Structure 1
Amino acid sequence: MAIVTTKAIVLSSLKYGDTSLIVKCYTENDGIKSYMLRGILKPKKKGIKAAYFQPLTQLQIVAKHNSKNTLNSIKEVQVIQPYKTIHADIVKQSVVFFLSEVLASSIQEEEQNKTLYSYLETAFTWLDVHDKIANFHLLFLLNLTGFLGFYPDMSQTNKAGFNLLEGVFSDDIQDKNVIHHNNFHQFKKLLGINFDAIENVSYSKDERQLVLQTIIKYFKLHLGSFREPKSLQVLETVFS
């Protein structure tokens, strides 16, 4: 059992019994950790509040981490990057619910990865302060593949298609895993850019959905643990 002070990003919270929550976080020090917060939903409960554990909230926590794979506990918590717009904006909220689901399904490691943590922190702060965010989730997911180990190999981008299973560009457009023509063209628009460039990428509603479905398929092919997010339909509705 170790007492750890670490930054943490909330990925999910699940009600346990009538008054408790089980919260899953991505921590800067130790990767994925789950915590039991007993009695946090009791009325007039003093101390740690349930409101701190909304999806993708950025926290500083003092926690007890044990080595026996059981639930950990949190002793102290504070919000270190209070969002100004995310919780008040229905579109941003939909994006946040969707991305928190994807992250909870994609990241399994209980080990430190400071570059991934820094990427998440920077991305969600960017989302909070910008208005043109219709393509944010697409670029966020595509760039996330770099930290998960399957960002597209950019060495032969002049080929006619992209093989989602192999992660490489390909001329074999008969292969069922190779995207080509319009699907490929739309997917390619996101490669090699950062968040400040996404307002220059234009998609129709149908193109945006096509690219999202392609990226979801890419995740499914590379991550055995990946489940299609329940909030996918909601996300498609808000950007219609």
Structure 2
Amino acid sequence: MLHKTRGVVLKYFKYRDTSIIAKIYTEEFGLQSYIVNGVRSARAKGKIALFQPLTLLNMVVYKKASSGIQRISELNCSTPLNSMPYNVVKSSIGVFISEVLYKCIKEDEPDNSLFNFIHNTILTLDHQKEINLNFHLIFLIQLSHYLGIGITSTNQFMHINNSDKLEKLKELSKSDYNSKHAITNSLRRAILNDLLQFYKTHIDIAGEFKSIEILRAVLK
């Protein structure tokens, strides 16, 4: 049976010579795996671009309860990203966001609130004229609530023996993506490490976050 759904691409893996398996978070079915044949062939004419991380899609998909890997009947980009692919800071934050989502989302059940949060996060990052260098920190704090491990107060970080860090965490926990906070690069890195450690403590996360090195290189 065919179903219409919106989707957000999280990651794809090469499969055989010309195909891929795409991990897409969908509005109707949660996290799904889709096999896409021939998309890496010369005849595909750049269709692989539709499967870059954080691409926003309109999809018509098959859904078989007995199959772990589904198929796509039709798809198109629902909202092209105008600045993120061409801005090194935005694209680096985007790579980090996609990796966090891929590692943390486990459920193949729909969650409209989580989907809308992810969708709005991507569009907000793309539309920002002045990039908020704390965007990824605010994202982690806000995402934690949708994953059921909500960071609600700095009491969860009382092991941190640094008053400046605790005060900034408190400010960030009450912030939106457009909030401005003066945070030094070294303190920003330290807060990121603490937030990711919090995630690892509460969620079964495989491996390390590889995109951290990219963030460290561009957020100076």
Kindly state the Cα deviation for residue 16 of structure 1 after the two structures are TM-superposed: 1.1
Q: How far 1:93 sits from its partner (Å)?
A: 1.1
- Counterpart of 1:192, as a letter, is K
Equivalent residue letter for 2:93: V
Note the residue ranges of structure 2 that are not aligned, 5 or more in a row.
none
- Post-superposition, which runs of at least 4 consecutive aligned residues in structure 1 deviate over 4 A? none
SS at match of 1:134: coil
Deviation, 1:27, is 0.3
| Contact kept in structure 2, 1:162 and 1:184, CA below 8 Å | no
In the TM superposition, what is the alpha-carbon distance from 1:219 to its structure 2 partner? 0.5
In the alignment, the residues of structure 2 paired with residue 10 and residue 114 of structure 1 have an alpha-carbon distance, to the nearest angstrom, of 16
Cα deviation, residue 226, structure 1: 4.9
| Alignment gaps of 5+ in structure 1 | 155-160, 165-169, 171-177
| Within-5 A mapping of 1:126-137 | 126-130=124-128, 131-137=130-136
Tell whether 2:156 aligns with 1:163: yes
TM score, norm. by length of structure 2: 0.93
TM-score by length of 1: 0.86
Matched residue pairs, number? 218
Offset of 1:9 from its aligned partner? Answer: 0.2
The answer to whether the 8 Å contact 2:152/2:173 transfers is: no
Quote how far apart the aligned CAs of 1:151 are.
1.4
Q: Confirm or deny: 8 A CA contact 2:90 2:131 kept in the other structure.
A: no
Is 1:203 the counterpart of 2:195? The answer is: no
Contact 2:132–2:178, Cα closer than 8 Å, also in 1: no
What letter corresponds to residue 10 of structure 1 in structure 2?
A: V
State the partner residue of 1:109: 107
Distance in 2 between residues matched to 1:184 and 1:32, nearest whole Å: 34
Cross-structure match for 1:174: none
Q: Per-residue deviation at 1:163?
A: 2.8
Q: Structure 1 vs Structure 2: percent identity of aligned residues?
A: 30
2:86 aligned with 1:88: yes
Counterpart contact for 1:86–1:128, Cα < 8 Å: yes
